[in-house]
Amino acid sequence: MTAVIDGGDRADARRNRAKVLSAAGAAFAEHGLDVPLGDIARRAGVGTGTVYRHFPSKQALLEAVHAQHLNDLIASGERRMARSAPTEAFFGFLLEVVETSQRRGPVCDLVTADPSWPRPVLTAAVQRFRQVLTALLHAAQRAGGVRPGLGPEDVAAFAVGCTAMLAARRDRQAGLALVRLALDGLRPSTSVTEQASFRDGVHRTIGAGCEECGAALAPRPTGRPLRYCGATCRQRARRRRLAD
């Protein structure tokens, strides 16, 4: 009988811990990191003492929330590897990382900005996340779906940029459309970077778009190829040449 009671107590403790983590993640995402632990306890439907038994400080709770986020992504990545083609699995995973990380931004910022915490739980989750990301990337590269030469750190940095781009758009669907467009740059068929020249911080693609603004140009069946998308860019380029 005692074993049954103890088992029930442990099950209750696990449920309470999961409730606190879920409530804390939502509260931090919605209201920032200044949310009192008492508010998180009420949101989770438990007492403040229950929160402190599982997480003795807000720092410990923040670490656990971020580690849980990574663990959820790890599980998703492993499912994708088992169920989807390599390229589909990689891009689906990366889009999920961007979408969920944008909502968890405040937590990510604090955890990554403070190197003084002893964070064994978070460190273990980060290592496993990198292993899954690396496996997905290499599988997609072997399948020919991702540019060769890219490493996991490149992809992680790329995801950070996409997350910032998504956060900058109020229209979430428009932001996701931009993110998908950016992700296409990881595919082998996208070769804008190799063909590009740079001047004064403006990206111009020779032979693929307007030399001034980079807008796509319709090909001409005869004659010289177009260099500019219209009169405005042609005049701007002329003024730039005169200034030089």
- Burial of 163-177, coded b for 16+ CB within 10 Å and e otherwise, reads bebbeeeeeeeebbe
Residue 12 pLDDT greater than 90, yes or no:
no
Verify that 125 and 212 share a domain, yes or no. no
The tokens describing 41, both together, are 């306890």
Structural domain for 176, as ranges:
58-190
How far, in Å, are 13, 74, 100, 114 from residue 109 at the CA level?
Answer: 29, 20, 14, 9
Verify that 93 and 50 share a domain, yes or no. no
Q: What is the pLDDT of residues 30-55, one digit of tens each?
A: 887 788 888 999 999 998 898 889 98
Residue 205 pLDDT greater than 50, yes or no:
no
The upper half-sphere exposure of residue 83, i.e. CA atoms within 13 Å in the direction of its Cβ, equals 8
**Sign of the alpha-carbon dihedral angle for 233, 238, 243, 244:** positive
Verify that 228 and 203 share a domain, yes or no. yes
| Tally of domains within the chain | 3
Question: Which pTM was predicted?
Answer: 0.66
Q: Which residues, in sequence order, are CB contacts of 130 under 8 Å at separation 6+? A: 152, 156
Verify that 51 and 86 share a domain, yes or no. no
Q: Is the separation of the CB atoms in 62 and 28 below 8 Å?
A: yes
Verify that 160 and 234 share a domain, yes or no. no
